[in-house]
Amino acid sequence: MLRGMFTTLKALFEKPVTIQYPEQKRPVRVRYRGRHELKRYDNGLEKCIGCALCAAACPADAIFVEAAENTDDERYSPGERYASTYEINMLRCIFCGFCEDACPTEAIVLEHDYELAYTDRASAIFTKDKLIVKVPMGGSPTPQKTEPGLYTRSVPEMKDPVD
């Protein structure tokens, strides 16, 4: 009984670990998987090429991708296709990261945002407008007009690290 009382008294003098949440936000770990984001290249083009490998890899069937063809007048991504419709049902998502692993262009990334609250089911379906990152500085918004044949590869060439 004395040992229990000693443990209680010792805990009284320890500093509390309470964080005042709305004012202070706890930093997340490096490997934390939070809210999804669709990334862009530095020039403003979308990285997503509409291949739907993320939807195929999703065990919860939470991702829907519909692809459309790029033209030289309207170019959304460097490949032949782009994702005209990209939706993630966040109520079904289990934040496993399989979509991130399956993406050949590293377009979908699970970032560190953990504030995901919904008031109704419709707001829990994240469309492409909610997921895509804003246009970077110096980049132009999509769609872009390009010269014919300028973008022929959906995945950019990898540079040799030795060069």
Provide the mean pLDDT of the chain. Answer: 87
Handedness of CA 19, 21, 26, 28 (dihedral sign): positive
Q: What is the CATH number of the domain that holds 48?
A: 3.30.70.3270
Query: Is 123 within the bounds of a domain?
Result: yes
pLDDT at 42 over 90: no
- Residue range 108-149, pLDDT digits in tens: 999 999 889 989 999 999 999 999 988 877 777 777 776 666
Rg (CA), the chain: 22
pLDDT of residue 21: 87
Residues 6+ apart with CB under 8 A from 121: 91
For the chain, what is the domain count? Answer: 1
Its domain, for residue 46, covers 28-131
Query: Is 18 within the bounds of a domain?
Result: no
Query: Is 3 within the bounds of a domain?
Result: no
Query: Is 6 within the bounds of a domain?
Result: no
Query: Is 38 within the bounds of a domain?
Result: yes
pLDDT at 13 over 70: yes
- Residue range 150-160, pLDDT digits in tens: 665 555 565 66
